[in-house]
Amino acid sequence: MRTSFFGLEIAVRGLYTSRQQLDITGHNITNVNTAGYSRQVAMQQASAPLGVPSGAGMVGTGSDVVGISRIRDDFLDFKFWSENDDYGEWETKFTMMSELEAIFDEPSDNGMNKVFDDFYFSLQELAKDPSNESVRALVKQNGVAVARYFNSIASSLNRVRSDCNNALKIKVDEVNSYARQIRDLNEQIYKSELNGNVANDLRDQRTELVNKLSKIIDVEATEIVVNKQGAEEKHFQIVIGGSFLVNHFDSFELEVYQNSENMYDIRWADSKNQYVPKSGEIKGYLDIRDGTGSKGEYAGVPYYINKMNEFARTFAKAFNEGIMKDGTKAYTGHAGGIGLDGTTGIRFFTYDGKSSEEFMADGADAYNNITAFNISISSDIENDPRKIATASPNGEAGNNINIAELINTRRDNRMFSEGAPEDFMKALISTLGIDTQYAEKISSSQETIINQIEHRRLSVSGVSIDEEVANLVKFQHAYNSSAKMISVMDEIYETTINRLGIGGR
């Protein structure tokens, strides 16, 4: 009598299959909070059947796990990467523009209106008594405050520009680091998949790195099939700006170098060719750092520095010479008045603390040399407040005719193209507010798009605890059932073998 162990073999295969399913389920549950992890499922199928000797048909042999699949939608990945760079760019712009808003800080106790109000109030007090030296000292002090207001704004703007410049180097270093990690993962994935397996966890790590990279720069990430010596190989590539950042086992680095302004520009380390980003955080920092707002450029820090330089020059010229923005001479100006000591031709505002004589020695460039960084009161006023020109040339040194004209410059709509000084600042701050709101709007819109894509990715690739627990119960029952089948087969074979043994005696 012949005895077969075929049923026991089927049950053992069931144990192995269920055990693998349980292991995969446990792996999913463990990685429920792992960033970039893709849910994995076993590819289970019936094992190859055996033919019945009588020719009556085929007998099943159980089941096998023939692979472990990584549940991922490549289209959603590509969509995420193509939107993430725009999000990175505008989020950066919004963050930096918000810093610019904080610098101007209007209205506030330290803003332009407060500084100018204090300065002109002291002029009004001096107009009441031009011979009062203590009030003259107050005018000098408030004049210094006006100059320092410009200096402070310019320094703060320059600091933001410097921060953007330093951030560029950090971001370039991050790009190079991600590129090297992706290159190393390409090699690990290639070696792991030589035997036909799929390196699911390594691929997840690579995708997560591309996610981070895509926020910094605009990337084109693809996996291509290459025929090499008659065998097909998968090569993963990342292209930025038309050049390879990663090509299978090779990575290429970017580097920063100092340009003529001692600011960082970006180029390829090997070819030295310039790299100009189209989007991403790097693009955001470059636009904020370098944007002049002219010829289609973004209005970044240089735009606001140029506007503050214009403000300082125009105001200084109007106060000193009585010349408005359009070139008309509306007032005698401080230089045309007479101080308490009888001096005339004194400029109240110069730059770098120069005297009126030194300042006017610059000739036609005198006012062009004034910037928000260097505007100051003249050394003449600094050393002797009696030189503040309150009187008119035709009156006595103690009259207040000239200072009355100087006070009128506060509200003169001819001083700037935009109007009076506060009108200029209102227009500038309004522009800044609009630009900041626009950056916030685009950033928020892109964030919404990114979140929607990410929700779709998670709905495909994410791990659901409820689903995995249900699978855990299902595979546990399958495992127990296979174990029960082994127990039953064991009883059958034991009875059969024992009976055969008894019968043969």
> How does pLDDT run across 26-48, given as a tens digit for each residue?
999 999 999 999 999 999 999 88
- Check whether 241 has a pLDDT greater than 70: yes
Domain count of the fold of the chain:
2
Alpha-carbon distances of 394 from 325, 331, 361, 402, 499, rounded to whole Å: 27, 14, 27, 10, 141
pLDDT at 171: 98
pLDDT at 396: 63
Q: Same domain, yes or no, for 46 and 94?
A: no
Q: For residues 184 and 191, give the distance between their C-alpha atoms in angstroms, rounded to a whole number.
A: 11
- Structural domain contains residue 25: yes
pLDDT tens profile 209-232: 999 999 999 999 999 998 887 778
Q: Sorting pLDDT into bands at 50, 70 and 90, what band is 111?
A: confident
Q: Sorting pLDDT into bands at 50, 70 and 90, what band is 503?
A: very low
Report whether the peptide linkage leading into residue 107 is cis, meaning its omega lies within 30 degrees of zero. yes
pLDDT at 400: 87
pLDDT at 387: 95
- Structural domain contains residue 84: yes
Q: For residues 125 and 123, give the distance between their C-alpha atoms in angstroms, rounded to a whole number.
A: 5
Q: Same domain, yes or no, for 401 and 327?
A: yes
CB-based contacts of 456, cutoff 8 Å, min separation 6: 73, 76
Judge residue 48's burial from the number of C-beta atoms within 10 Å of its C-beta, 0-12 exposed, 13-18 middle, 19 or more buried. exposed
- Check whether 345 has a pLDDT greater than 90: yes
pLDDT at 504: 47
Mean pLDDT of 370-381: 98
- Structural domain contains residue 209: no
Q: For residues 473 and 125, give the distance between their C-alpha atoms in angstroms, rounded to a whole number.
A: 88
pLDDT tens profile 387-446: 999 998 766 656 888 999 999 999 999 999 999 999 999 999 999 999 999 999 999 999
Mean pLDDT of 122-147: 96
pLDDT at 505: 45
pTM assigned to the model: 0.89
- Structural domain contains residue 128: yes
**pLDDT, the chain, mean:** 92
- Structural domain contains residue 409: yes
Q: For residues 258 and 266, give the distance between their C-alpha atoms in angstroms, rounded to a whole number.
A: 9
What range does the domain containing 56 cover? 6-71+463-499
Q: Same domain, yes or no, for 352 and 407?
A: yes
- Check whether 59 has a pLDDT greater than 60: yes
Q: Same domain, yes or no, for 45 and 161?
A: no
- Check whether 502 has a pLDDT greater than 60: no
pLDDT at 78: 96
Q: Which of 53, 34, 42 is nearest to 16 (CA)?
A: 42
- Structural domain contains residue 1: no
Could you tell me if 414 and 327 are in contact, meaning their C-beta atoms sit under 8 angstroms apart?
no
Q: Same domain, yes or no, for 410 and 421?
A: yes
- Structural domain contains residue 312: yes
Q: Same domain, yes or no, for 137 and 278?
A: yes
Q: Same domain, yes or no, for 55 and 26?
A: yes
Q: Which amino acid is at 103?
A: I
Q: Same domain, yes or no, for 390 and 469?
A: no
pLDDT at 246: 97
Q: For residues 224 and 404, give the distance between their C-alpha atoms in angstroms, rounded to a whole number.
A: 79
Q: For residues 405 and 34, give the distance between their C-alpha atoms in angstroms, rounded to a whole number.
A: 71
Q: Sorting pLDDT into bands at 50, 70 and 90, what band is 3?
A: very low
pLDDT tens profile 86-98: 999 999 999 999 9
Q: Sorting pLDDT into bands at 50, 70 and 90, what band is 500?
A: low
Q: Same domain, yes or no, for 45 and 159?
A: no
Other C-beta atoms closer than 10 Å to the C-beta of 30 total 12
Q: Same domain, yes or no, for 353 and 434?
A: yes
- Structural domain contains residue 374: yes
Q: Sorting pLDDT into bands at 50, 70 and 90, what band is 55?
A: low
Give the ranges where 389-420 is alpha helix by DSSP (H). Answer: 401-408
Q: Same domain, yes or no, for 116 and 57?
A: no
Residue at token pair 């290639």: 190
Could you tell me if 463 and 39 are in contact, meaning their C-beta atoms sit under 8 angstroms apart?
yes
Q: Same domain, yes or no, for 353 and 427?
A: yes
Q: Which of 27, 33, 61, 63 is nearest to 45 (CA)?
A: 63
Q: Which of 469, 471, 462 is nearest to 32 (CA)?
A: 462
- Check whether 190 has a pLDDT greater than 70: yes
Give the ranges where 419-464 is alpha helix by DSSP (H). Answer: 421-461
Could you tell me if 375 and 349 are in contact, meaning their C-beta atoms sit under 8 angstroms apart?
yes
